[in-house]
Structure 1
Amino acid sequence: MSASTAPATSQPLLAAQTPRTPSLWPGLALAGALAAVAIWLSRYPWFQSHGLSALTLAIVLGMVVGNTVYPRIAAQAHTGVGFAKSTLLRAGIVLYGLRLTFTDIAQVGWPGVLIDVLMLGSTFVGAYWVGTRLFKMDRQTVLLIGAGSSVCGAAAVLATEPVVKARAEQVAVAVATVVVFGTLAMFLWPTLYALATQSGWLQMDAHQYGIFVGSTVHEVAQVVVAGASEGEAAANAAVIAKMVRVMMLAPLLIALSWWLAAPSAGAGSTTSGEPSRVVIPWFAVGFIAVTAFNTIVPLPAHWIVVGRWVDDALLATAMASLGLTTHLQLIRKAGAKPLLLAAMLFGWLLGGGLLVNVAVHWLMG
């Protein structure tokens, strides 16, 4: 064989040996279909009355399919599923800013803002200390549970996952704790409030109760249900306090990224002993930018509706993708410690949250 003919014969052989990259579409179609079903189910009154949002339903559906049918088609779908868990998730967090404006802060006043800051900070720091020092849990799971409990439930868990570089089963465990204890809080808070006010030992009006709910209950959907149980004034205060708390997600993620990259003991260092590189989560910055834009520019109402619909679809698709890649046996291996940690945080959100709310309102009038 001559030198001139060698390249012509070797190129087809090399091409034949090069594996084809799976298409995005099978995985995206599967995750998107599960998300669509979850969004559809979330509009039914039964699911709404139980605080089951589209995100919660999407991960449940994803886990059902992921532990039955998905392993047979994973080779064709994994690329699209991975794209949904990463890129679509980040885009969804950015668009989440369409739900907020900086003027929301004025509606709960400085007492509401201070309460949100105190509850977020104490819950997150407490989660890390108890989880890593007392329970000796892995840091990723602890940070995810802390974010979900202190900020905004499943959406916060999803947003924190890229920063802490968690595995799918760690995210699923954290989301499960949010669902369990957030649902319990949704029904327990109104019951205890009614008993305490009727007995006369708690002096808290509907507006103050709403701030208490918004500063302590996990998911936005759960806040809506718990706040609405005491009327429109409580519901409005609860949602606004919750939205202010959600707004704090971006600075929390940026601060967390800096802390994880610090060369201090227990923080982020690579296996070679060198300090980790600071990675500013661009989607957190985008979230702040969209919130600022939504505050400054009066967008048409139908634009906001469409934007929020797209955001719901993106986040639900990301959550369904997470469920598809979550294996139940890996969750079982996590043991009882994540639930115990979440239970302790639940107790703090109820008891400590009540004390913080009463004290701040008393001090600030």
Structure 2
Amino acid sequence: MTSTASNPWRARLPGLLLSAALALAAMLLEPWTKRFGMSALPTAIVLGIILGNSVFPRISGHAGAGVDYARSRLLRIGIVLFGFRLTFQDILGVGVSGIVIDIIMVAATFFLALFLGRRVFKLDRDSSILIGSGAAICGAAAVMAAEPVVKAQAHKVSVAVATVVVFGTIAMFLYPLFWPMLQSHLGFTQHAFGLYVGSSVHEVAQVVVAGKSVGDDAANIAVIEKMIRVILLAPFLLLLSAWLRDKNDASGKRAPIVIPWFAILFLVVGAFNSFHLLPKALVDALLKIDTFLLAMAMGALGIRTHAGAIRQAGLKPLLLATALFAWLIVGGLLVNIGVMRLFGH
């Protein structure tokens, strides 16, 4: 009985070790890659794609089970631990206006992605959802969190993550150039600029860099505003699951809603973290473990991504991501100005 129970883990071990090696390499490279707006997660997927299209086909028979386990089960555990990055006290730092801005931006960006993706660029539904999730919420982490709900092919997830890397990196350097104009012509304070950055730039790391280039106050508000978008990930996944349940039901019978348990636990962890019951050193250690698990999942996803499938995707995903980037810059600015004026700021 014990031997039978241990067999799955024995089969998974080579693939898990391979995914762990990619994650470790990505984390060691992070001090350098962060200069280009790439955290360990996108780096891991790039390393995985290189490995998956060179050496891995020769060892897939031995390592495939572990790689697939990393990109599924470990991904969900990583999303749960992602909750330690937020506390609900963060919301108080930006007030009601910051919450309203984020809700509008997440909803508008995602629905715009669906409309443009399906109607204008004739993309498939899964790619539109994944690219929209990354732009609307929290970059690569949102794409990865949406993947188990959408059940998309590996190359579609990789393409969506790539768009986050490209346009998030551009945003990191572009947004600070807007600061003098926003300050002189629109009366933006560092607080207002932080809200703008946090509500419209893709990745947390990119938000930090864009905010800090203006000042510490802008960076602090930008990160808090970004964390509210992260909090919105859980209700977004629940609504996405319910919507896809109806869309996928061709028989006319109502299929049961598949609740993404990791989204619920993500919120539970965030709520628990709000009470500050754990020592900061322990939380920091959990965050490092979380980054490692998510990087393992990213590396595993990259391994299962075939370069030919990415080439076949063509320009359409990039065009959708470009349109969403333009919306985040211009539409994001208009939403921020409108909501701030509505609340008397």
Category of TM-score, reference length = shorter chain: over 0.9
Matched residue type, 2:308: Q
Matches of 1:294 and 1:230, distance apart in 2: 29
Aligned-pair identity (%): 53
Q: Name the residue aligned to 1:208.
A: 192
Matches within 5 A, 1:223-238: 223-238=207-222
Among 89, 93, 117, the alignment partner of 2:75 is: 89
8 Å CA contact 2:138–2:202 kept in 1: the answer is yes
User: Which consecutive segments of 4 or more residues in structure 1 shift more than 3 A?
Assistant: 272-277
Deviations 1:142-196 (A, max 9, x none): 0000100000000000000000110101101101111111111111111122344
Cα displacement string for residues 292-328 of structure 1 (whole angstroms, at most 9, x for unaligned residues): 1111342111110111011000000000000000011
DSSP 3-state at the match of 2:214:
coil
- Which among 27, 41, 66 is matched to residue 80 of structure 1? 66
| 1:190 corresponds to 2:190 | no
Any idea what the Cα deviations from partners look like across 1:112-171, whole Å, max 9, x if unmatched?
111001100100011011111222211111000010000000000000000011010110
The answer on whether the counterparts of 1:135 and 1:337 sit within 8 Å (CA) in structure 2 is yes
Paired with 1:226 and 1:136, the residues of 2 have a C-alpha distance of 33
Bigger helix share = 2
CA deviation profile, 1:195-249 (whole Å, cap 9, x unmatched):
443xx32211111101100000001111111011011000000100001110100
CA contact (8 A) 1:59 1:322 kept: yes
SS at match of 2:257: coil
1:318 aligns with 2:297: yes
Are 2:270 and 1:282 equivalent residues in the alignment?
Answer: no
The reply to whether residue 173 of structure 1 matches residue 159 of structure 2 is yes
Amino acid at match of 1:40: L
Contact 1:89 1:314 in 2 (8 A): yes
TM-score of the aligned structures, taking structure 2 as reference length: 0.95
Post-superposition shift, 1:275?
4.2
Q: Is the 8 A contact 1:260 1:276 kept in 2?
A: no
1:137 aligns with 2:117: no
- Matched residues in 2 for 1:57 and 1:194: separation? 32
The equivalent residue for 2:26 is: 38
**Offset of 1:277 from its aligned partner?**
3.2
Give the aligned partner of residue 140 of structure 2: 154
C-alpha deviations, 1:72-129, integer Å up to 9, x for none? 1111101000000000000000000001011110001111111001100100011011
CA RMSD of aligned residues (A): 1.3
1:340 matched to which residue of 2?
319
User: What is residue 4 of structure 2 aligned with on the other side?
Assistant: none
- Give matches, 1:252-271, under 5 Å: 252-262=236-246, 267-270=247-250
Kept in 1, the 8 Å contact 2:149–2:237? The answer is: yes
- Further displaced range: 287-296 or 152-161: 287-296
**TM-score of the superposed pair, with normalisation by structure 1:** 0.90
Structure 2 residue runs of 5 or longer lacking an equivalent are 1-6
1:60 is aligned, of 25, 35, 46, to 46
Q: Which residue of 2 aligns with 1:360?
A: 339
Structure 1 unmatched ranges of 5 or more: 1-19
Larger radius of gyration: 1
Amino acid across the alignment from 2:190: A
Q: 2:86 aligns with which of 100, 104, 116?
A: 100
